[in-house]
Amino acid sequence: MLNPVERYKSGVMPYAQMGYWDADYNPKDTDVIAVFRITPQDGVDPIEAAAAVAGESSTATWTVVWTDRLTACELYRAKAYRVDPVPGSPGQYFSYIAYDLDLFEEGSIANLTASIIGNVFGFKPLKALRLEDMRIPVAYLKTFQGPPTGIIVERERLDKFGRPLLGATTKPKLGLSGKNYGRVVYEALKGGLDFVKDDENINSQPFMHWRDRFLYCMEAVNKAAAATGEVKGHYLNVTAATMEDMYERADFAKELGSCVVMIDLVIGYTAIQSMAKWARRNDMILHLHRAGHSSYTRQKTHGVSFRVIAKWMRMAGVDHIHAGTVVGKLEGDPNVIKGIYSICRDSFTHKNLEQGVFFDQDWAGLRKVMPVASGGIHAGQMHQLICYLGEDVVLQFGGGTIGHPHGIQAGATANRVALEVMIKARNEGRDIWNEGPEILDEAAKWCSPLRAALETWKNVTFNYQSTDTADFVATATPA
């Protein structure tokens, strides 16, 4: 870095010379650390590009300003301290940047993201920029509420242990009347599912007002619970145009006795945190549908990795988040999905480059988030889902329930039987990954709904190349 006279001379100078690059910097335990994938324009030095990202996401502007000297500027400057080439991707670099904790407002995802992703993604010297991962210090985590319920308390409220939870999304997601919508919910819950859910874009449309949907759905929930003796639920989507509307809908859901409400990611970080606080006050499970995320999480070179979104949402305070299926119709590399699930469910997430996790993350007692697997899954994949995703997960079979040839209730029964026999086999020590199809076929001999499900969807797969994979190359080391 230049001496003060040269550093604060009016004009333009490289960001690295302004103090936003420090190869000798050792991050503090209280620093927020971000790793970006940067793709500089041709002729732009990667270190200067990293320094520019650090500067533009903290205190810098395009020219020298003397007012820096009115602040603790050396403290407040973000510091790029490491730049590594991305394996197998010429022209791309992983840049590690540390931010002092004082740069962020406590307990605010909106403020955190306004700095980290607020302005820098349109910076002209970069062809592309992607936020790959973040290390959130314990000191900052403790300013966030986190999930209002958490996995342990949710299981206690539902009285369901030792297996994944089962759900489905009402189909068609748009167009049903309130009464017919409620019929779908009842049939699915009566057949053996734990939850049914609204989809992301069912709010309050001309064909079905939100209040009608809530009334018919809760009637279905209560009837199914009485018929089965199990706790049941329906994710009532309270997403709306204003916070006042959302609070009104959530309050009505509580008044009707619902144990869960739902919101969409597109409502924004402030609204999500506001609803999380409401859910904590009202002992309600909060389900988050990640509507819109793929518009900025799916591409490898530009945007925000979903593992970062998962971290932010655990901090913001949701109990459920759609996090990928591996085997379904939506994007999901097995290793990347494992990394996301560990972020949701671990007390301490360990660095695992193979899974795209760049940092150790101590969650400081923040409650755990229940991942939700949905999108193109069916009973024939049950052994794969359990092996990939474990048991602390909601498996949502929408079309795989409602599209069953014998009806909705039969579809739900097929999924419940497939789950129960697979968990039983696992608990008996069988190799369900390899024996799964045999286990399902045996159960199908005495369960006609399962037999019909397997026959209907036995050849359905979604084997496409994932676009978001971890950039990990194993290297041999001397013995």
Active site residues: 171, 289
CA distances 34 to 113, 305, 316, 329, Å, are 11, 12, 18, 30
Which distant-in-sequence residues (6+ apart) come within 8 Å of 307 by Cβ?
132, 133, 336, 339, 340, 343, 356, 357
CA distances 164 to 67, 206, 298, 435, Å, are 56, 36, 26, 19
Residue tagged 């927020």 (tokens)? 32
The pairs formed by 217-223 with CB atoms below 8 angstroms and a separation of 24 or more are 217/181, 217/182, 217/185, 218/253, 218/256, 218/257, 218/258, 219/182, 219/186, 220/182, 220/183, 220/185, 220/186, 220/189, 220/196, 221/185, 221/189, 221/257, 221/258, 222/257, 223/186, 223/190
Asked if 389 and 371 count as a contact pair (C-beta separation under 8 A), the reply is: yes
The dihedral over CA atoms of 256, 261, 263, 269, expressed in degrees to the nearest 10, equals 110
Asked if 285 and 319 count as a contact pair (C-beta separation under 8 A), the reply is: yes
